[in-house]
Chains A and B, each alone.
Chain A
């Protein structure tokens, strides 16, 4: 029983690794295509005028070698965790990312979690109560969720809930003056729990709530609609009628016979939505002053900080890969036909 699933997993992971190498190649090539001269960006005005210094610097950084060789050096650096040095912060890109990536993952993770719980829940309720009042209400709400632009919602939410009503804390990840919890995962909520700092935990949750909900609203609407139609489709299947004909209780039919196949398209959409959610963080992070990858990417791109841009590209690419891997593996877990074929 276990071996088909294990084989399926190994195959998927190997594919993901190959794709990861592909991502490094693409980020490398793209960055080298950018019309920007790293020499001018890194050396001072006077040094650039001296051919000997420029040649020396180019040799030091391997820029005098052919591109394929440079790519191999780049790969070697990556294997040692060397993503280069940011020209803005003058710190290793890896250190910068170690701070901003968990911040974004915490925000996006909370948003996708909320979206899955609410979106799937609403979708199932709407499908089961088809054409009744609750179905109509949920459908209108989901349409609103999809239609409202995230950046506008972020501004309005920040204004209403922070400035006017003062029910949410302001910008940032925790209250100013509070020391962040000792870093284990980089997620403040998790780290606070691990270190038993309840005050930090409640502050982190409070700061997380508004941006995460703003970010989640679109995905909630999307998942509600997809779950509703997926559940309705499965409810019309012969095997559901056959399950009812067996006299199984309604909840068994729902959870075992209906939800499982209905989740397949929902997972696909959730995986895609996570991608759009990541790009949505750029705007939400800007409004809520959330020190995440979005802000970092924006700053590096506008200042032509190429090592930082490459680092962000690599991280975002790997995050997509991991999400796709998770989605593929979930297909295999849910549907035996996927892992056997």
Chain B
């Protein structure tokens, strides 16, 4: 939490994406800052997930992206595949919606936690293993040493998402993109995952992009909030301002749709 806190870690400018000739993003602008959680809200199909995938060059087969995604003085959209691979997982990591499908069912937790670590950081098996155990402890998996030997299906949904977060953090990235990280989980474990993300963001100075359709989740952890509709960001601002005094009618309609108005302390 130093001066770096206020510098932009990643800037998206005028991002346009089309899939098979059909435009899904019409010029998205977003700025992520170190140590801050930026919430990206909007209904299904508004382009939140595509924005996240575009950052890592993971758009579906047959997509085109234009605009600019500035990271570390480079434009990720212009970067050759090989160099982009050096950024993925190492500098910018991602957590996916459903840990039941995003972790490989046939590989041990150890393998999934260590292989990109060894690839990006060039460390040995033993060092990677130690780091992996420490990471599991950090995301509060009980018995980390034992857990390394197990397979994803031997954990509960909440535990799996913690493991997926540990995988994302393994190479100490600067930016974390979390795509609906709590949507597939029981309500009872959602709060734990969000607290974990918030804590990691504060402790490690991570810039987090939290994609969610759930304004309740948003109000619990985000510093900044952007609201997307039909492939455009319609409103951006500090959480308190956007959630309490929305300027765009769409944001207001989203808030009105909530059963309980979001407050500073709601989970």
Residues of A within 8 A of B (CB): 1, 130, 237-239, 241-249, 252, 256-257, 260-261, 334-337, 340
Contacts and interface: CB of A to CB of B under 8 A. Distances in A.
Contacts of B153: 336-337, 340
Given A239-B102, A248-B115, A337 B151 contact: yes
B119 A242 contact: no
Contacts of B167: 242, 246
A39 B120 CA distance: 79
Contact of B87 (A247, A252, A256): A247
Interface stretch (B63-71, B93-101, B129-137): B93-101
B217 to A, nearest CB: 20
Enumerate the 7 nearest inter-chain pairs by beta-carbon distance, A residue then B residue, closest first. A247-B88, A247-B89, A246-B89, A238-B101, A246-B116, A245-B94, A239-B104
A257 B90 contact: no
Nearest to B177: A245
A248 B85 CA distance: 7
B257 interface: no
A304 to B, nearest CB: 51
B105 A337 contact: yes
B260 interface: no
Contacts of B98: 238
Interface string B116-128: 1001100000000
B85 A245 contact: no
A239 B103 contact: yes
| Most chain B CB neighbours (cut-off 10 Å) among A239, A244, A336 | A239
7 contacts: A238-B101, A238-B102, A242-B104, A242-B164, A247-B120, A248-B119, A261-B106
Nearest to B105: A337
A239 B116 contact: no
Contacts of B94: 242, 245
A315 to B, nearest CB: 35
B107 interface: yes
Contacts of B138: none
B101 A239 contact: yes
B56 A245 contact: yes
A248 B111 CA distance: 12
Contacts of B164: 242
Nearest to A237: B101
B6 interface: no
Contacts of B115: 246, 248, 252, 256
Nearest to B91: A247
A186 B149 CA distance: 44
B132 to A, nearest CB: 13
Given A247-B119, A256-B107, A256-B115, 12 more contacts: A237-B101, A238-B102, A239-B103, A241-B102, A245-B56, A245-B89, A247-B116, A249-B85, A335-B106, A336-B153, A340-B151, A340-B154
B89 A336 contact: no
A244 B102 CA distance: 11
A246 B84 CA distance: 11
A134 to B, nearest CB: 17
A152 to B, nearest CB: 39
Nearest to A130: B61
A245 B119 contact: no
B58 interface: yes
A241 B96 contact: yes
A130 B61 CA distance: 10
Contacts of A239: 101-105
Contacts of A260: 106
A127 B137 CA distance: 40
Contacts of A257: 104, 107
Contacts of B88: 244-247
A238 B160 CA distance: 14
A83 B256 CA distance: 83
Contacts of B116: 246-248
| Most chain A CB neighbours (cut-off 10 Å) among B93, B116, B164 | B116
Contacts of B105: 239, 261, 335-337
